[in-house]
Amino acid sequence: MLPVTRIQGDLKIVKVNKCNDTYLGATIRNEGEKVIVGRVIRGGIAEKLDLLREGDEIIEANGNDLRGKNVTEVCEILRSITGELSLVIAPLNRSNDKSQMITSTEVRHFRALFDYDPEVR
């Protein structure tokens, strides 16, 4: 199940062979008309093969335009595809995503001045 990845401009085209009972290992969410990768599940195909990353937009699956579709519709489309799965992805522009960056000056350490045991009532 080796992926084939091509870059066309800002879009990434990923092709992978998918069996009936195989899941990509990612959650999706809607942001307006867009279908966005919410999380990549550890150990899933998407993580193992580095297919998707959080924040990526999935535009098409095997020629089906996913924009404007809700999460349930997208899941049904992806679930119904067997054999070669071709995804058109608009990767999140990580170089401009300052929310993902943490600098050493932002790290703060705190010391608790009391003991806390959640088992004690």
Give the CATH number for residue 77: 2.30.42.10
Q: Look at residue 106 and tell me if it is in a domain.
A: no
The domain of 32 spans 4-93
Low-confidence ranges of the chain (pLDDT < 70): 1-8, 94-112, 114-118, 121
Q: Look at residue 112 and tell me if it is in a domain.
A: no
Query: What pLDDT, on the 0 to 100 scale, is given for residue 119?
Result: 76
Q: Look at residue 100 and tell me if it is in a domain.
A: no
Q: Report how many domains make up the chain.
A: 1
Quick: pLDDT tens for 11-25: 999 998 888 777 889
Query: What pLDDT, on the 0 to 100 scale, is given for residue 34?
Result: 97
Query: What pLDDT, on the 0 to 100 scale, is given for residue 111?
Result: 67
Query: What pLDDT, on the 0 to 100 scale, is given for residue 97?
Result: 45
Query: What pLDDT, on the 0 to 100 scale, is given for residue 22?
Result: 76
- Written as one string, the DSSP assignment of the chain is ---EEEEETTEEEEEEEE-TT----EEEEEETTEEEEEEE-TTSHHHHTT---TT-EEEEETTEE-TT--HHHHHHHHHH--EEEEEEEE---GGG-GGG---GGG------SS---TT--
Query: What pLDDT, on the 0 to 100 scale, is given for residue 96?
Result: 46
Q: Look at residue 121 and tell me if it is in a domain.
A: no
Query: What pLDDT, on the 0 to 100 scale, is given for residue 6?
Result: 63
- Sign, CA dihedral 15-16-21-22, equals negative
The pTM (predicted TM-score) of the whole model is: 0.70
